[in-house]
Structure formats: C-alpha cells, structure tokens
Amino acid sequence: MESRSAALSEERVSARLSYALRKHSPGWHVTCERTPHDILITATHAASPGLRFEYPAEWDDDTVVEIARAHWQHHEEIRIASAAPKIVNRQAVEGLRTMIAALRWTSVDVRAVSFLMWELGQLTREEAAWIAGYLGADAPNHPIYPDDLGPPGN
C-alpha cells in the first residue's frame, strides 16, 4: 500500500508542478520521483537541456511544490526556453546549446554560428533568431533575426 500511495503522491506532485510551470511558461513537462533519500523533480522542454532539482525525502507534497515553484520563479533556463519558437531542428539546437555552454561563447560568437547554421539550413529562421538573441554570455534577451526582416509578419 505504501508503494501505491508514493506513486499517487508522485503523480499528484508532477501534475501540480506541470500545471504551475506551464501556466507560467508553456511547453514544460514535470515529473516527480521519490527515493528513500530524496525527491527528484525533473522539468523538460523541447528547447531546453532540462532542469533537475533534489529535495529532502521527508518533505510533504505541499512543501515540495511550494519550494520548487519558488526555485523556478526567476530561473534563467525557464526564461530562455519560454522565449523559444517551435523547435524543428532539435538535434541542431541541442548541439549548439551544448557548445555555447561548454565554450562560454559571447553573443557575437553565438550570432555568427547560429546565422551560419540558418544559412546552411540546419536551423529555421526563428530558431536562429532565438538562439542569437537569448544565448551567450551577454545576450540581449530578444530575438535577433539573421536577415534583418524582423519577426514573422513584419
């Protein structure tokens, strides 16, 4: 019976956190896993490498949800992924994001590579604009389009 209640608790926490995060930022999926030692919360998004938080196993569901929501309130990764367009070239986006983080590129470096990948057909125009504008050490936090035409519909 304890295993069943733990599974129900995991589902309840996952559902509450998924709802809270999607309300704040669409596209996120949250899972909860209780182990004997801790509670693991994993948040995934098509435009993100994901987030993982660990909390003490003795915390109750309400505490986990409250603390996790507080952690997400101003989390940089949630802000960046929330600004993403529909991701069409997931492998290219994941690979480029890995390189940007590993090599600590500036926004100028990011812009050069993302625009080149757009020119080569490896990224959509919107993916390149999002990456160029939101990633890199000194990113301006707005899309920068590779062709100076601005957002779609302009």
Domain boundaries, the chain: 2-77, 83-134
Position 97, amino acid:
R
3-class secondary-structure state, position 68: helix
Chain centroid to CA 24: 12
pLDDT in tens, 11-37: 888 888 877 777 767 888 888 898 889
pLDDT for residue 15? 82
- Does residue 7 register a pLDDT over 60? no
The pLDDT score that the predictor gives to residue 27 is 85
Radius of gyration of the chain (CA): 18
What is the per-residue pLDDT across 33-91, written as a single tens digit (0 to 9) for each? 988 899 999 999 999 999 999 999 999 888 988 888 888 878 899 889 989 999 999 99
Helix (H, G, I), strand (E, B) or coil at 120: coil
| Confidence (pLDDT) at 135 | 96
Query: What mean pLDDT do residues 113-142 have?
Result: 96
Average pLDDT rounded to a whole number, residues 4-9 = 59
Q: What is the pLDDT of residue 1?
A: 44
